[in-house]
Structure 1
Amino acid sequence: MEDIPVYVQIHNQLKADIAKGKWQIGQRIPSERQLSEHFSVSRMTLRQAIQTLVDEGILQRKVGSGTYVANRKVQEKMSGTTSFTDIMLAQNKTPSSRVISYHLAEPTLSEKEHLQLPAAAHIIRMERIRLADQIPICFEIATLPQWVGQNLRRDELGDSFYHVLEAQGFKLGHAQQTVSATLASEKVAGLLKIKRGEAILKLRQITKLQDGRPFEYVRTQYVGERFEFYLER
């Protein structure tokens, strides 16, 4: 153990304590002063260990309040086409959806461009909230060409949209994704049960079939504290 820096040893011990449930998610851990006395180290050494845990997303600092065990975020790897349902199940969470609206409409210029639609085409526009263990994770607006959505029933959309399409014989291809940061509007905040102005991760995605035809243009807003994307090379 002599070759391992002291702050790393403290980091490992605190991480193990959290994994064992010594402090629960959302619970404040002892102050830096208390912990530095417990481990018989300087505040600077203790602070290094805490900051490393914060950087790893295990702890969360709240200004003027203290340091807390962070909520474990749902993660999505940005590669390929993966359904929300599959992501949730892979992380031992129960997925569900609540459809807000589902109707036939004329496409906007942006929707027409992204879905490569002819001049007279119509689209089906769907709004729904996606949940994990009954906690709202994101609000999405999905636009589908009429030829894709015309055989879908609204009651089928409480589960995985991709699974429904595959069951109908569609072969899914790849997706193009763009992620940006924004703040929750009053409408989105109300739907996701957060405060107006809270951090939001905004995903814009165009999904194609294996033959190259775009079949979905979706704009999704994720609660920043409950979801994160990661890249893997």
Structure 2
Amino acid sequence: MEDQGKSKSRNEAQEELEYYIKVNRLKAHDKLPSERELSELFQINRSTLRAAIQRMMDEGKIYKIAGSGNFVQEPKIIRNLNDLDSLTELVEGLGKKIHSSVIHASVIEANKQIMKKLRLPLGTKVFQLVRVRFIDQEPFLLETSFIEHHRFEGIEKFNFEKESLYKILEDVYGVNIVKGQEKLTLTYATEEEAELLKTSYESPLFFISGTADDKEDRPVEYFRSVVRPDKMKFSSILTKKSEEVHHG
């Protein structure tokens, strides 16, 4: 039995560990048995088990506390890139609480990049909103939005720590976001991003950028966001025809 266990692969070890978590109904932040106990339970060598644990850490399923052991990680938020539902609706639909902390909110002149994305003349005033988004008190996303100020005059007066940007656009200005385009890439945390998101300097982050449009195909928002990959993952539905990717 021991020889058979020693021949198990990392994938098999991970499957056993994930099954153990499921059948024992372990919840987020529950502690796992020690590596020695798991190795004996699964009849597998310690090095293979450690490799499986490390992969699950990389996937955001387990986390380690030095001197205490391994724990079950809070499940990631899964966001479909083709879904127009707001982030607030997505998170609250999972029974979690989301709130924002405004880092910066001001009216500035559009630079060339903002001008191009929002299709505005150079020098047009835009409202810039920088927020950290939290799920159950844990920061997971740093978001920067640019909105044409003349079109949405007075938008800077709203409290975006308590109010939804898209809800204000709809309820106050009568503008609905109906589609958008976005690009997802990988980046690494700057010192400021690491501090705001409570992660380490140069740790990997998702970088999302794009525009959100109204029903007249007019850009309403240009956004840039960095997201902790241990808190959120992305999915997309593939079709035979190419489609626009929507910003939720």
Q: 1:57 deviation in Å? A: 5.0
Q: 1:42 deviation in Å? A: 4.1
Q: Is the 8 A contact 1:98 1:128 kept in 2?
A: yes
Deviations 1:68-102 (A, max 9, x none): 42332222111143322112111211111111221
SS state at 1:149 partner: coil
Q: 1:12 maps to which residue?
A: 19
Partner residue of 2:29 out of 25, 30, 35: 25
**Unaligned 5+ runs, structure 2:** 1-11, 239-248
Q: 1:176 deviation in Å? A: 0.7
Matched, 1:101 2:108: no
Matched, 1:137 2:140: yes
Query: Structure 2 CA distance, aligned partners of 1:20 and 1:88?
Result: 22
Q: Is the 8 A contact 1:29 1:68 kept in 2?
A: no
Q: Which amino acid aligns with 1:111?
A: I
Matched, 1:187 2:192: yes
Q: Is the 8 A contact 1:80 1:175 kept in 2?
A: no
Q: 1:134 to 1:148 in 2, by over 3 A?
A: farther
Q: Is the 8 A contact 2:127 2:155 kept in 1?
A: no
Q: 1:143 deviation in Å? A: 0.7
Query: Structure 1 CA distance, aligned partners of 2:160 and 2:179?
Result: 21
Query: Structure 2 CA distance, aligned partners of 1:192 and 1:56?
Result: 18
Q: Is the 8 A contact 1:148 1:215 kept in 2?
A: no
Query: Structure 1 CA distance, aligned partners of 2:17 and 2:127?
Result: 55
Matched, 1:200 2:233: no
Query: Structure 2 CA distance, aligned partners of 1:129 and 1:57?
Result: 21
Task: Name which of structure 1's ranges 66-75 and 220-229 shifts more when overlaid on structure 2.
Answer: 66-75
Instruction: Using structure 1 for the length normalisation, give the TM-score.
Output: 0.80
Query: Structure 2 CA distance, aligned partners of 1:197 and 1:9?
Result: 33
Query: Structure 2 CA distance, aligned partners of 1:28 and 1:148?
Result: 54
Task: Name which of structure 1's ranges 6-15 and 165-174 shifts more when overlaid on structure 2.
Answer: 6-15
Q: 1:127 to 1:26 in 2, by over 3 A?
A: farther
Matched, 1:149 2:156: no
Query: Structure 2 CA distance, aligned partners of 1:9 and 1:99?
Result: 43
State the superposition RMSD in angstroms.
Answer: 3.2
Q: 1:160 maps to which residue?
A: 164
Q: 1:3 maps to which residue?
A: none
**Unaligned 5+ runs, structure 1:** 1-5
Matched, 1:70 2:77: no
Residue-pair matches, total:
222
Instruction: Using structure 2 for the length normalisation, give the TM-score.
Output: 0.75
Q: Which amino acid aligns with 1:172?
A: I
Q: 1:59 deviation in Å? A: 3.7
SS state at 2:194 partner: helix
Q: 1:215 maps to which residue?
A: 220
Q: 1:191 deviation in Å? A: 1.4
Q: 1:35 to 1:165 in 2, by over 3 A?
A: same
Q: 1:175 to 1:80 in 2, by over 3 A?
A: farther
